[in-house]
Structure 1
Amino acid sequence: MHQQNVALLFNPSEPGIQETLAQFASHARGECVCLPLPVDRHLPGRVEELSIDAAVNLVADLDLASEVAALCHLMDLPVTGPTRQAQQICADRVLLKDFLAIHNLATPAGYLPRNPVENLAQEHRNFGFPVRVLARTGLRPATVARNFEELQAQVLSARCEAGEVLVERLVTGTVVSTALWRGKTVGSAEVQSSVDASGAPLEEVHIPARIPATGLRTMERLAERLAELFHAHQAMLVTSIRNEHQEEFILDIDLMPSLHRHARFGRIASAFGLSQRECARSLVGDLRSHRPVSLATRSAWMCG
């Protein structure tokens, strides 16, 4: 019986990706032949040369992951992951806020500063402090500004690194990350963020989340509604916050969380009985249901 050649598509610049590749390949051994392939301009040629039948998209950056999914679609190559449309919405934080507002799902108030930083006061006005400063797209970590001087410095830094910037009101309360698999909740964790003496971000994850069961179930139902909206049929991580008035706000939606066993999704899933091995074999099983792609079809596409 022919074993599928499955490409593990990855971005070499992502931290910890080599360990993730080794762990995934170890679990999928016997189900398929796993071939790690970096995402670069040589990818179409490698897919042809290695007779790749299907691919697992392990790219964390949704912008790049969306491009990878589009390329696989053009090559008629079955690939894991959410739809390209869902990836594009979640990759753009402003577009995501607008999309969620249409569905009456709350996110923290925010605005997109357009002026030079020296004129930022005209836009910020009575918005208040503290605020979070986020890149509109990409994986740059959010920073917190507690006064106007910090806001100017952080907006300038974020613009230099990532382009457009989103300024968002800082909501305080209990932060919960919910891991979902196949659109259903696996489990949730409480997340506490801080910084060390050098200013580097620290994260404490408490499993299970230390909030009343009724409140937690409300947040998990919210996460499942999001999975339905985005047609998320594989791994998904939703981070939300519940404030002192018992109001829920969506902070982040990760349609392609890292499958590394020590990443947040892996830690939550394993604590609630879903192993990394089960996830890997299930993804490969999804790909097995697709018919192998004809190399002639790919050659015709590559030759135009």
Structure 2
Amino acid sequence: MIKSKGLLSLVWIVSVVAVIGCTAVVVLTSRDIDKSVRRGFDQSHSNIYKLFILSLSISDLLVGVYTIFICIKAIEMEGSYSSMDMEWRASTTCSILGALFVIGSEQSVLTMVLITMYRLQAVMRPFSTPNIKRAIIAIAISWMVSIMFGFIPLFPFAEDYFLNSISFDDIKIFKTKVNQTDRKRLINWLRLMDNGSVQYDVDTSTEWGKLRGLISQINPSIPIRPLHEFGFYSTHTVCLPTLFPHQEDKSCMYSFALLLINFMAFLFMLVSYIALYRNRNTERRLPTNWLTHPPDKQRSESLSLFRPS
């Protein structure tokens, strides 16, 4: 899984430090929020930032948990991974770890976008009143979006889009591994077997479900079940999502949406912090008497010199 022992040791160190650090931040921030709630939780920027920090630390904690589990599995399968590769990548554990990584990483990005938005508002509109309810709603929506992106590929109704291939054991009439390209041809071939004399009672909502049902009725006395199913998180040995699938894969648009959201978030934060930096430099270049004599007041005073007394 992770061949280099040096890399595995480094991942272990980073993962443990991340989990301990994020857990400490979650605990301390939760205590501060609890104290603020008991005092009334006033509408202040500091309280809003505490909520953002809590959300960010939880999302980073999820990524740390993911990397620790990957390290544990790497140690368990050391020296025998080649014989367990297909079983591991097709396992439920690998899929859940992949979903956990997507949830944590996407929520981290979305939380940083929210922090940037509120920082922009605080700088560009310094006299605006912060709204803590909007912040809570924004954080809740971001978590819902992250969870949706992580778990949609695991739902049964979406398997036609995210299930890449299925392998069967001891089937001699066709190759044991069937991908999305072969699926439709195989379904049509099975339906034409025996010149249509065999009636297949298949009532499923997905193409993969139809294939399973048709294969199971080739010989009802010998049930044939899929041996391994490779989905959205089965491409990599460390259960990462398939961000760059083949063009013919139906999950291509989903992967493109994930990449686009992250790229747009990066552009937004880049432009926003450039604007904040320029605004700060502009304030530094203002004359020292600007605060006591704003431009409008200085202009009115200079014009008064030309008015008749």
- Which structure shows the bigger proportion of residues in strand conformation? 1
Q: TM-score, normalised by structure 1?
A: 0.25
- Which structure shows the bigger proportion of residues in helix conformation? 2
